[in-house]
Amino acid sequence: MSDRSVSPSPRRSRSRSSRSRSNSRSVRSASRSPARSADSRSRSRSASRGRSRSRSYSKDSRSRSRSHSVRSDASDFERLTIDKKSSGRDREDHGTETLEICDSDAAFILGKGGRTKVKIARVSGARLDMSERHGVNVLEITGTSAQRRKTLKYVKCVMAQRVGPVHVEEDDADDDLTLCEVPTECVGFVTGKQGNFLRTMEDEWGVIMFFAEFKGKNRDRQEGGTEKLAMFGEKRGRRGAELKVLSAIEQKIPGFITKTLKASKSDEDWGTDIRWLKDDELSYALGKRGMTRKKLARASGCIVEYVGNVVHMSGNKRQRVRANQYLDWLFQQLAGPVHVDNNARTDVSVVDVPTSCVGYVTGNRRETLGKMEEEWGVLMFFLDSYKDDPDRHKRVMERLAIFGPIRNRRGAELKVMSAVEAKEPGNFTRNEREHQSRKYWGTDTLLLSDTELAYALGRDGTTRRKLARA
């Protein structure tokens, strides 16, 4: 079913501009596109065809909220760039290969509910279609030559699992393989019941994993006590899955991985930093059900995994630096408020929260703040911005810092503003006006009446969530 754009009726559009501001509510929507709505464009064109077009908003109508979003570098945006030459080469390189397979192999490649076929397609980037022609099962592989080559390799490995051990070559031209040594006594633990733990890691990191026999120059290393676990996929996915496996091994045999590890920082652009943690630090950095670890990973963009008491942070240099800083600030919170110089940072937004609303925004034992961090994948804490102010006990505002990617920060920022507005109506919306941002990333503001707000919110906020996801 095709998407249809629905323009509001002229009567409703005209009435909105003449509503009383005292009976209105403010609704903010953050978007990556500054494009105006279709109806406003058509009105502008018809009204000013022969003269210069007037803007539908003025500088004075911009948001006057007390939130401050620190500038963000271009890498925070998911910009789409198209290389015409490379796209043309891809089209020329694009093709289809077919592979005839027996019924047993076809069932194995499809997997339960087609999951294995979907997994192979996701990792290789090719399209897979299974059909029957003249009583023979045919697998069609469509994609570039590199994608087709990878797909054939993965398919053959999957079929080999059905009849015996999988053989993996050391010299792999695709650079999509990581091999991990797993102690024999840990193989069952890493695999899980009916392969569930292995499948979970595959789904989480977008890789294909299986135990294999290894062919290469070093095939005799550590033979007898370990088995080789092969992981195919992109570098980031393979590293995330590998660290999960190492964590499971360390849990089963304490010291097997960490006994020779030392704290270190990688000098490479993409690498891994290693830090040792004390027992109490590990418990705090892990969090309930691992939520703090996940929060640090999402906010920094870095892979964060604990192998015993050792934290591994994998990613590019900027991601690793941020992950280390966030971890330091996390521990500093145990001693009191944290002071951060955020003037030159590109990964932070700051919201001024009235002191009377701090407890409401934070929640019991930080529950409310924790839920916002979990929902948006950010790190949030109140700053000690007034530590040198002798009258700091008289201040009426506290500064809440939000760290993470720009979209995540803005989502959490609006959640905080909504909570403050619920506690103290008018704090952010008292002088609010409608406006549309013309920036690549910006916020458009609409003023709604009580009736419109109730309808746009929906029962338990379902309509709002539907609009956001669509």
Q: How far apart are CA 154 and CA 108, in angstroms?
A: 12
Mean pLDDT within 302-321: 96
Burial of 218 (0-12, 13-18, 19+ CB in 10 A): exposed
CA distance linking residue 122 with residue 207, whole number of Å: 8
Chain-wide mean pLDDT for the chain? Answer: 80
Predicted TM-score (pTM) of the model is: 0.74
Residue 59 has pLDDT above 90, yes or no: no
Q: Which of 411, 425, 424 is nearest to 465 (CA)?
A: 411
Residue 301 or residue 71, greater confidence: 301
86-125 pLDDT, tens digit each: 445 556 678 899 999 888 889 989 988 888 999 999 999 9
List 357's β-bridge partners, or say none: none
For the chain, give the percent of residues with pLDDT over 70: 75
Q: What is the pLDDT of residues 436-463, one digit of tens each?
A: 999 888 999 999 999 999 999 999 999 9
Q: Which of 25-39, 44-58, 160-174 has the lowest mean pLDDT?
A: 44-58
Is residue 11 scored above 80 in pLDDT?
A: no
Tell me, what amino acid is at 47? Answer: A
Question: What's the token pair of residue 224?
Answer: 């007898």
Residue 295 has pLDDT above 90, yes or no: yes
Instruction: Report the C-alpha gap between 234 and 7 in whole angstroms.
Output: 43
Sorting pLDDT into bands at 50, 70 and 90, what band is 12?
very low
Q: Name, in order, each residue with C-beta under 8 angstroms of 243's C-beta and a sequence gap of 6 or more.
A: 303, 305, 307, 312, 314
Q: Which is more confidently placed, 458 or 64?
A: 458
The token pair at 43 is 């009105």
Q: What is the mean pLDDT of residues 383-409?
A: 77
Strands, sheet with 226-232, edge to edge from the N-terminal-most edge strand: 166-169, 208-215, 226-232, 177-183
Question: Which pLDDT value is given to residue 377?
Answer: 93
pLDDT tens by residue, 158-173 = 888 887 777 777 666 6
Is the pLDDT reported for residue 400 higher than 90? yes
Q: Work out the average pLDDT over 5-27.
A: 42
What value does the mean pLDDT take over residues 194-201? Answer: 91
Judge whether residue 35 has pLDDT over 60. no
